[in-house]
Amino acid sequence: MFGVIKVILFNLLLLLACCEENFLNQKTKYKIFEQILKDSTQLISKAISDVIHEFYITQNLTFDIIIYGEKSNHLSDVVDGIKSQNISTTIRHISKIDDWNHEMNKSAVIFVKSEADFAELHEKSKTKIFELPHLNSPTPENFKFFVYVEEIKNVMDINGLIDLNYDLRLPTDMRFFEFFITADDNFVNLSANLLYSEENCGNFNQKLLNAFDLNSQKWTEKLQSFNHYDNFHNCVLKFYTKNSYYLHFETNEDFLVTSSENSKDLKLAGINYHIIQFLSQKFNFTSRFLFDDEISGNATDYTHIAIDILNYGNVSNFFHYLQPVFVDNYHFIVSQNDFYTNYEKMLFPFDTTTWILILFTYGLTFGIIFGLQYSPKWIKNAFFGKDNKQPGYNALGAFFGVAFVGLPRESLSRYILIIYIWFCLIIRTCWQSMMFEFMTSDMRKPLPQTLDDLRELNYTIIMHETILFTSTSVLQELLNGRESPKVIIFYFDDDSIFNANFLDLYDQSSLGQTNSKFAFLMEAELYHIFDDYYNQSLPMQNEKISKSTGYFLPKNHILLLHMKKLFDELIPTGILEHLKQYSVWFLNRPIYKDPGDPRRILSIFDLEFGFVIFLAALFVSTIVFIYELHALYVEEQLRKLIGLYQFIRVIKERLRVYHDKW
């Protein structure tokens, strides 16, 4: 992770530096390199601060920040950056191992400069430094240790130092790829050193990407067939771990079988696991975790990336080193959903938001109509035009293309009506093209993404606040009256509530023999699903390994991956265009519009401005039309009254004449 951060900042600052006129000066060049290293510490400090907030402060853990060994300027700047993030803790500097004369009784964030310091620290940790009495207590406290090694030259050697049979778990710096910037008298070289290996990704150590000629001030374009590795396209990165899973498996030649006596749920956790999951989404690679069987003599031949992704100990398990634990980063892995019907496609534009806007528009329309009914005449003339007899009929005729001559000429309604007709034509054209594309394509319904989506699909969800799993009878009573729901999801937002006791209850109960499937959704961790029969064998290893795009479980099985979005600010969003063709995988990918979500196509907010004008014009035209209907009715009644008045006046005049003659 920290290698990625350095790379982005290194490349950005290097290119900016290359544009300077004084770059030819040798002293200036080395000053720039010093500035690159100095500026990179800010982003590293931010990333480590995010880890501390997520895994220490939010869990109310007390911890120390320890700088062990030689205190470099880089480590000092990183620690200062962490302090600037309002993290309050004790910072200690221990120059040599003999000065570490006290027991480690709390969590810690440890900074070391070199591999030698890390090896010395780890060797000492096996004896007395990390004697943690809490591990033997009935209710052990949650202790976490995070180690950042500034200089790692050989990742294999560092990971080989970690003996995972010990209680202490020291996650190493996760650097499976790095950029190197080197300089000589004439060139500044930009190289890549990739420390992963996979059939689709290639096997190589270091490759020169480009070089900047200090004399001509130009890039030499020395790229050697590197573009097809951009963005880790079709790559599957393997991450290996050893005997530290909270699960017991037995192996044979063909397939993996769960042990009915010591079966426990598979659990992946830890800081590095979350970092890898985050990077896999950002850089478009599939993270595959495999077991590294110490018994197998060939295991080391496959171990290109070895990290500790757990912090659990005192468990002696053995795994086949080619058995994958997790094969893709889907939020849900379920059977493919059905296609949308034509009737469902027709209803997509009329969602809740659309109906609310329609009701609001017409409600406001009638409100203004009643307001105009009792308005002064000069307001009516300003809005409809002076002495305009039929504005509503004219608007209706113009809308249907019958007439355009009789429009009111000197009023606000004329201009609004023109805008209304104009945008009606534009929106109709856009809407028809979108509807044609959508209606003529077969699209599947989107997979569920939230608990509410699962409830709509009639999944049974049991929250931990509802019941405490203290006995088998309680668990059985919970499911009484249910006709074998297809999946029962136990949701725990507190990791401490889910423990081995519940799994023991599962073993003692008869739930494993029902037709229901069981899944466990944790707030920040991954759990596998229980199968129909608890001791049924899983698919063959080769079948899983061959599917690099992800393994889809059979129908009605579900695997829920509810991961927190960590380190959102870890990857910068901007970098110079020159680097994009060489390091695309270091950039944020564009926002992906899921083709399975039709609302991304037919949402009313895709035409926000036009739709607002459409509603405004419809609103005004409705006022004009309805008010004119009302005006015509009033005018007709007045005409009748005037005619009656004139008739009475004529009769009265004639009676007066007859009276005078008489």
| Residue ranges of domains in the chain | 2-234, 332-338+445-560, 343-425+606-633
Contacts of 300 (CB under 8 A, 6+ apart): none
Q: Are 110 and 68 in contact (CB under 8 A)?
A: yes
Report the C-alpha gap between 417 and 520 in whole angstroms: 59
**Span 605-616, pLDDT tens digits:** 445 555 666 677
- Give the DSSP per-residue string, 438-478: HHTS--BPPPP-SHHHHHHTT-EEEETTT----SHHHHHHH
Mean pLDDT, residues 421-450: 68
Q: Could you report how far apart the first and last alpha carbons of the chain are, in Å?
A: 119
Q: What confidence score (pLDDT) does residue 342 get? A: 74
Helix, strand, coil percentages, rounded to 5, for the chain: 45, 15, 40
**Span 248-307, pLDDT tens digits:** 232 222 222 233 333 333 334 334 444 455 556 545 566 665 544 433 333 333 323 333
Q: For residue 44, count CB atoms less than 10 angstroms from its CB and return exposed for 0-12, middle for 13-18, buried for 19 or more.
A: buried
3-state secondary structure of 268: strand
**Span 336-379, pLDDT tens digits:** 456 777 777 777 777 777 788 778 877 776 777 677 667 777 77
Report the C-alpha gap between 43 and 82 in whole angstroms: 10
Mean pLDDT, residues 454-477: 53
Q: What confidence score (pLDDT) does residue 535 get? A: 26
Contacts of 453 (CB under 8 A, 6+ apart): none
Specify the residue for token string 């005006």.
Answer: 631
Q: What confidence score (pLDDT) does residue 276 get? A: 53
